């Protein structure tokens, strides 16, 4: 018996409780969703990151990785290891240079911006942690070009690190092909790219709608382009190129995806060959190509699959559709020609 002679039926109590739960859910659902996404995304959910600061850290990371790459090569103790085979059956090597550079670059970025999604080519174990971090100074060379901060949500960012591009050539001491690379993708689009050449000290960087320390060349040969392709993962790229552009086409075989992107730009005086188009027709990983894609995009160029499809830099680390990179040219016309 309820007080004051009111009898509560079990059905009434049930309805009352459900109503109460509904009100509680209405009041706290935002908070619950926020806590849940915080749990999934770590500390930084709902936070923003300044892309200009991230660019400064990315440049420093690529350069510090480069110091490791150079020191290992000069020590001549590369400790080469077979990581596995590519789909085409080529040996995939990893050296102490790849590992030490990977550790330095990843730790600097992760410690400076905890909680961001960072994808590295080499594995980073618990024992690989270092206390290195950024001093929060954006170099004037960056501030003079990228005049303002640019804030984006932390959860929109995916970072791709290639601690040593052209490992194959590195083991052969063809060090001019070697680069270290960092890329920042925002919602899957490459926005910041850094390509550093440890053996010349040159660094190219760019931020889409932010600026770049690098330029495109004044002109490109659209009629009879020079094509740059892989020297160690070429597949049938030479046959495809000659068939598409004619038997007289000049083809440069070179190591490293970073090196090949630089060959499309105005980086004379940095021990670089120059080309008009970069084509790759085997599988390739996103850390190999994201930084180059960002730099080309910032300067008005494009990097797509061979069919002209956009490559999305989130999720899986592989790119299946080959690669076509150009700048200062009609990219769609190149795609049509290739098809
Ligand atoms: N078929 C393939 N499978 C896996 N990785 C590939 C590949 N073709 C090229 N790559 C990678 O892409 C980069 C550039 O290759 P290439 O010099 O042949 O153009 C190299 O990166 P790493 O040296 O960072 O491993 C190479 O390993
Ligand atoms: Mg690479
Ligand atoms: Mg690599
Ligand atoms: Mg590799």
Q: Decide: 167 in ligand 1 pocket, CB within 6 A.
A: yes
State the pLDDT confidence band at 269, using cuts at 50, 70 and 90: confident
* Alpha carbon distance 80, 93 (integer Å): 7
Mean residue pLDDT of the chain comes to: 91
Provide the pLDDT for residue 268. Answer: 78
- Whole-model pTM above 0.90? no
Distance from the alpha carbon of residue 261 to the mean position of ligand 3, in angstroms: 15
Q: Which residues surround ligand 4, an ion (CB under 5 A)?
A: 167
Tell me: pLDDT of 40 over 60.
Answer: no
Q: Which ligand is nearest to the CA of 257?
A: 1
- For ligand 1, what atom is nearest to the CA of residue 282? 1
Atom of ligand 1 at shortest distance to CA of 287? 24
Dist CA 320 CA 324 (whole Å) = 12
Nearest ligand 1 atom to the CA of 165 is 24
Ligand 1 pocket member 199 (CB < 6 A): no
**Res 62: pLDDT:** 98
- Which H or E element spans position 279? strand 277-280
The whole-angstrom separation of Cα 185 and Cα 312 is: 9
257 lines ligand 1 (CB under 6 A): yes
């Amino acid at each position: 018996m309820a007080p004051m002679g009111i009898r509560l039926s079990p059905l009434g109590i049930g309805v009352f409780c459900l109503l109460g739960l509904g009100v509680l859910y209405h009041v706290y659902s935002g908070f619950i969703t926020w806590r849940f996404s915080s749990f999934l995304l770590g500390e930084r959910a709902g936070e923003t990151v300044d892309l200009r600061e991230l660019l400064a850290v990315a440049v420093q990371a690529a350069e510090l990785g480069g110091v490791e790459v150079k020191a290992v090569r000069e020590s001549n103790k590369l400790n080469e290891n077979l990581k596995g085979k590519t789909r085409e059956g080529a040996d995939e090597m990893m050296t102490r240079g790849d590992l030490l550079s990977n550790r330095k670059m990843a730790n600097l970025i992760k410690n400076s911006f905890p909680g961001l999604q960072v994808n590295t080519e080499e594995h980073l174990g618990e024992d690989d942690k270092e206390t290195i971090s950024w001093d929060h100074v954006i170099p004037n060379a960056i501030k003079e070009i990228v005049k303002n901060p640019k804030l984006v949500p932390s959860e929109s960012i995916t970072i791709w690190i290639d601690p040593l591009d052209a490992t194959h050539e590195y083991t052969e001491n063809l060090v001019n092909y070697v680069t270290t690379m960092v890329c920042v993708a925002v919602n899957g689009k490459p926005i910041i790219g850094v390509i550093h050449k440890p053996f010349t000290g040159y660094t190219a960087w760019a931020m889409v709608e932010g600026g770049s320390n690098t330029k495109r060349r004044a002109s490109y040969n659209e009629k009879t382009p020079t094509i740059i392709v892989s020297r160690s993962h070429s597949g049938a790229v030479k046959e495809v190129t000659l068939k598409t552009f004619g038997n007289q086409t000049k083809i440069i075989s070179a190591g490293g995806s970073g090196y090949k992107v630089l060959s499309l730009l105005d980086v004379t005086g940095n021990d670089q060959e120059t080309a008009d188009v970069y084509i790759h027709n085997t599988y390739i990983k996103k850390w190999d190509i994201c930084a180059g894609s960002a730099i080309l995009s910032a300067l008005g160029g494009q990097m797509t699959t061979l069919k002209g499809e956009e490559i999305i830099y989130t999720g899986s680390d592989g790119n299946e559709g080959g690669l076509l990179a150009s700048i200062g040219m009609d990219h769609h016309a190149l795609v049509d020609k290739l098809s």
